[in-house]
Structures are given as structure tokens and as C-alpha cells.
Amino acid sequence: MKKFYNVAILGATGAVGRTMIKVLEERDFPIDQIKLLASPRSAGQELEYYGMKYKVEPVSPEAFEDVDIALFSAGGSTSKQWAPIAVEKGAVVVDNSSAWRMDENVPLVVPEVNPEDVKWHKGIIANPNCSTIQMVVALNPIHKAKKIKRIIVSTYQAVSGAGAKAIKDLEEETRARLEGKYYYPEALPAHIAFNVIPHIDVFQDNLYTKEEMKMVNETRKIMHAPDIKISATCARVPVFNGHSESVTVETEEPITVEEARKLLSEAPGVVVEDDPFNNVYPMPIEVDGKDDVFVGRIREDLAFDNGLSMWVVADNLRKGAATNAVQIAELLIKYDLIKK
């Protein structure tokens, strides 16, 4: 008999939380009861699930009573505070923040790459950083066939990755500038309209940002490849939704463009859109609302001997966050890892 589960979303009012509600609906996730949780600021606000209105509740220990699966997207400090409580109440937490990702007791999972890692969870499973998810989905098939030694990546990240306030910042600053007015973003470190900001998350002692180091460390953990050398530059661009990445890899064995196209077109969760002479390549505006990772501009790299370059685009709110989290929850059900 099919089982149904009680699911809570912490951060339901946020950009990712709202997408989680949509993705659960679309994938017909077997839900008995859904609970929408946020901060006390949002208590009483209503959100729709399957056309029905649900009141948002302020998070509390009691809110996790009888919850089987808790999807968290409410930032790192909220997760640090509430994930152990949710686990104590019997829920399995799938957490979208960076709070637990590098904890050696917490699996970090991208279902197309390391699904089996969910099996050793101890209550919390971490959802990787959005830019990391789309990159590893595209690179894992190449790594398995030709062993990647080195990755150089530059990202062009949408404002939705910085949350609902950053989306408002882009909208308001664009409008203000076109009207000759001044606006300074609230959620971003610099002007975003008609600009590019080479700064996401905080700077570290090594002069890389935390976002860039997430791409380095999380990729190694997910791909079980501690020796891959990775260098990342992450930039915020004035795009509402959909992250783009220029990725170059050096492989141990040579790889041709044709081989790469074949590997990628057979890979789960990847769509190859690569016909440059007909202007076919993935772009954020076109991947908005889609769950796959799109790859184009596949070409031999001119700087490395066994080098391959490509352009990787995905909806960061979906595959980079909500969809990946719901896929992890589906794996928990598939492997019968939820106590009922």
C-alpha cells in the first residue's frame, strides 16, 4: 500500500520555500499533511497548496510533532537552531542552507550523482549550493568516463539565489535607474541593475568568497573526488532567475566534443542544447521553470591538452534548490528510510 507522509517546509514564504510547494505539487509527492513554517513575522500569512489556502505557522518545537520529512530553506543560523529539534521530534531534515553541508556526519546529495549517500544519514541530509548542483550534474558523466583532474569555473548567478529581497532589489533598482532615481540594494553588496558584482557571500582569508569555496569543497564531497583541483569565480548578474556557468575541465584521458555530447545527452537530468551555428545554446530566460540542467557551447579547450569547455545553465530555485531537495525526499521514500 502506498504510504503518505507529513511534510513541513521551514522557510515556506521565501523564494525557495514557495518553489518547494510548487515542486511537491507537480511531482505529486505523497503528502498526508503539509505544514508551512516561517518566522513569527509571517504568522497568519496564507499560501496555496493544491488550490487550498494554508496558514503559515511560526516555527516552534511543537510544529515538528508528527512530521516525517522537513524541508528547510530558511538560512544557516535558523537551520543550526531548528534542524536538531526537528530530528529530535522524529523528522528527517533536508536542509538547503550551508550549515551542515561539510559536516562529516551529514550526507551532501545530488540524486543524479551520489543517491546512495542518503542511506547513511543520521537525521539531516544537506542540499548542496545551487551553483555546485548544476555543475556536478553536468560534470559527473564526464568524470566517470574520463576522470576529471581540474575544474575552472566562472558563474553568472541570478538574484533569486540571494532570496526574495534580492529579487525585489533588481526590480526596484532597474525601475529607479530608468526613471533617473537612486536606489541602493538591501540584500546585495553593490548596485545590481546594469551591473555585475564579483562577490557572493563573504570573502575568506585566501581571497576567494565563501560561495566560491563552497563550489570547491562541495564538489569534492559529492563526487567522492577529494583530489580534483578546482578554482571558482562567482559573480551576481542582473538576471532574475537561472544561473549560468562557464566550465572548463582537464581530464586524465582525452575526450572529444562528440564523446562529451553523447555522454551528456545520455546522462540523467541533463539536456544538451548545442547547435551554435543556429544560435542554439542554453540561457537563463529559457530554463526558468524547468528542472533539468542544460549544457551547450561544448568545445575543445584551447588552454589544456585534455581540456573541454562548456556552458551550463539551470533554474537555481528548482534544480539548484527546491527540486533537488524534493528529489532527495523521494530517495528517502524509495530506499524506505523514513520511520513510520
> Which residue in the list 121, 143, 234, 243 is annotated as catalytic?
243
Burial bucket for residue 28 (CB in 10 Å: 0-12, 13-18, 19+) = exposed
> Which parts of 40-69 interact with ligand A2P (CB under 6 A)?
41-42, 59
Q: Which residues pair with 243 in a beta bridge?
A: 314
- Of 65, 31, 60, 19, which is closest to residue 43 (Cα–Cα)? 60
* Residue 269 near ligand A2P by CB under 6 A: no
**The one segment of 125-133, 160-168, 171-179, 224-232 that binds ligand A2P by CB under 6 A:** 160-168
Q: Which residues contact 334 (CB under 8 A, 6 or more apart)?
A: none
DSSP tag of 266: T
**Min CB(16)–ligand A2P separation in Å:** 6
Q: Is 233 in the site for ligand A2P (CB under 6 A)?
A: no
**Chain residue whose CB lies nearest ligand A2P:** 14
Under the binding rule (CB under 6 A), the answer on residue 316 touching ligand A2P is: no
Question: Among residues 53 and 339, whose Cβ is nearest to ligand A2P?
Answer: 53
Of 11, 107, 269, 320, the one binding ligand A2P (CB under 6 A) is 11
Q: Could you say which of 121, 130, 143, 234 is catalytic?
A: 130
Nine cell digits for residue 126 = 544537506
DSSP three-state, residue 33: strand
- Establish if 284 lies at the interface with ligand A2P (CB under 6 A): no
The residue range among 118-126, 130-138, 162-170, 327-335 that interacts with ligand A2P, by the rule CB under 6 A, is: 162-170
- Shortest Cβ distance from residue 320 to ligand A2P (Å)? 13
> Does residue 165 interact with ligand A2P by CB under 6 A?
yes
Contact between 306 and ligand A2P per CB under 6 A: no
**Collapsed DSSP state (helix, strand, coil) of residue 187:** coil
Map grid coordinates 540524486 to a residue. 111
Q: Establish whether 130 is a catalytic residue.
A: yes
Angle at 325 between CA 321 and CA 326, to 5 degrees: 120
Q: Which is nearer to ligand A2P, 74 or 325 (CB)?
A: 74
Determine the number of helices (DSSP H) and then strands (DSSP E) in the chain. Answer: 8, 14
CB of 218 to ligand A2P, least distance (A): 19
* C-alpha cell read off for 205: 582569508
Q: Which stretch binds ligand A2P (CB under 6 A): 27-35, 71-79, 109-117, 274-282?
A: 71-79
Produce one character per residue of 231-251: b if its CB has 16 or more CB atoms within 10 Å, e if not. Answer: ebbbebbbbebbbbbebbbbb
Supply 138's cell numbers. 553536468
Q: Is 80 in the site for ligand A2P (CB under 6 A)?
A: no
- Nearer to ligand A2P by Cβ, of 41 and 229: the residue is 41
Helix, strand or coil, per DSSP, at residue 253: coil
CA dihedral 132, 133, 134, 136 (to 10 degrees): 80
Residue 93 within binding range of ligand A2P, rule CB under 6 A: no
Active site residue 234: no
Q: Out of 164, 193, 235, 337, name the contact with ligand A2P by CB under 6 A.
A: 164
Q: Which residue has the cell 504510504?
A: 3
Nearest residue to 157 (alpha-carbon basis) of 219, 239, 75: 239
Residue 52: CB atoms within 10 Å: 9
Of 15 and 308, nearer to ligand A2P (C-beta) is 15
203 DSSP 8-state letter: B
Does 320 participate in binding ligand A2P (rule CB under 6 A)?
no
Q: Kindly list the catalytic residues.
A: 130, 243
Give contact residues for ligand A2P (rule: CB under 6 A): 11-15, 17, 38-39, 41-42, 59, 74-75, 78, 163-165
